Amino acid sequence: MTATPEAWPRPYWQPSDETAVLYFYVFGRFADELVIPAARYASAGLPEGIALQRFEHTALRSWEGYPLKGALGELLKEDAAAAFEQARAASEVLVVRGELPDQNHLDYLRDTLGVLAGLLDIGGEVVLDPQILTLFDAAAWRRHYLVPGGAPPRNHILILRNAEDDGAGSHVHTRGLRKFGRPDLSFRHVPDPQAAQAGMLCEQLVEWQALGARFVDRQPLEVEGLPGELIAHPGGSLDDPQFNNTHVAFDWPV
């Protein structure tokens, strides 16, 4: 049985020169010939620009970017110990990754997620999404992403809160908006009593950007309950390890 693909439009889309980046690891054991039932999940297969590579797990363990070692490996092990051990024991790794131009729809994401779902049906056991520093066993991945009509944008990103180095409040920020070809969000010096409000604002702006909107330099943003406007400052670098992306910074008004 196959499902009919439904369009995933971006009703707020504004063209940009940004690119969307998708990057996943699927750990498991697979038949010699991969027959992926992606159509079962309303997927037309991997979009142009996204490729699948197959590796013996042992061949990746010495790779400099191997994700199950170093600081990332320790983080993943602490966050999802059972899935981490399951991934380490897997005999094969499929890497799904690529880059696409900014588009007025999210069909590319729908199709890629359908391929990942199909891979879990034919031997995949664990999925790693390094852009949000998260390891899912098969059941957790299905719960998170196989949502009727498509998982909401919030499910595709990570919202983090860290203490500021100078002790003046918290830094509330996101990771993962590169999947949508948009910069991540950064709210600096948020007073601790308002950290939850900053997190909810992140959720709203994540959806706004995922559906295609963009911030311009010094764009004001009025937020109910704050004493002043938030002013957007796009910048940053794709090499910034905190975001793995460019970002839009806002100073929290006090």
- Per-residue pLDDT tens digits for 206-245: 999 999 999 999 999 988 888 889 999 999 999 998 999 9
Q: How many residues does the chain have?
A: 254
- The Cα 237–Cα 78 span in angstroms is 28
- What pLDDT does 50 receive? 98
- What pLDDT does 1 receive? 53
Q: Do 27 and 125 contact (CB within 8 A), yes or no?
A: yes
Cα-Cα-Cα-Cα dihedral of 235, 240, 244, 248, to 10°?
-20
Q: Do 27 and 54 contact (CB within 8 A), yes or no?
A: no
Q: Do 155 and 147 contact (CB within 8 A), yes or no?
A: yes
Q: Where are the domains of the chain?
A: 19-151, 158-251
Give the residues of the chain that fall short of pLDDT 50: none
- What pLDDT does 135 receive? 98
Contacts of 187 (CB under 8 A, 6+ apart): 171, 172, 173, 198, 201, 202, 230, 250, 252
- The Cα 18–Cα 180 span in angstroms is 9
Q: How many helices (H) and strands (E) in the chain?
A: 6, 12
Instruction: Count CA within 13 A, CB hemisphere, residue 167.
Output: 0
pTM for the full predicted model: 0.94
Q: Do 50 and 98 contact (CB within 8 A), yes or no?
A: yes
- The Cα 223–Cα 227 span in angstroms is 9
What are the C-alpha distances in Å from 157 to residues 162, 179, 193?
A: 16, 9, 23
- What pLDDT does 227 receive? 84
Buried/exposed 185-202: b ≥16 CB within 10 Å, e otherwise? bbbbbbeeebbebbbebb
Instruction: Count CA within 13 A, CB hemisphere, residue 121.
Output: 15
- What pLDDT does 149 receive? 81
- What pLDDT does 251 receive? 85
Instruction: Count CA within 13 A, CB hemisphere, residue 102.
Output: 20
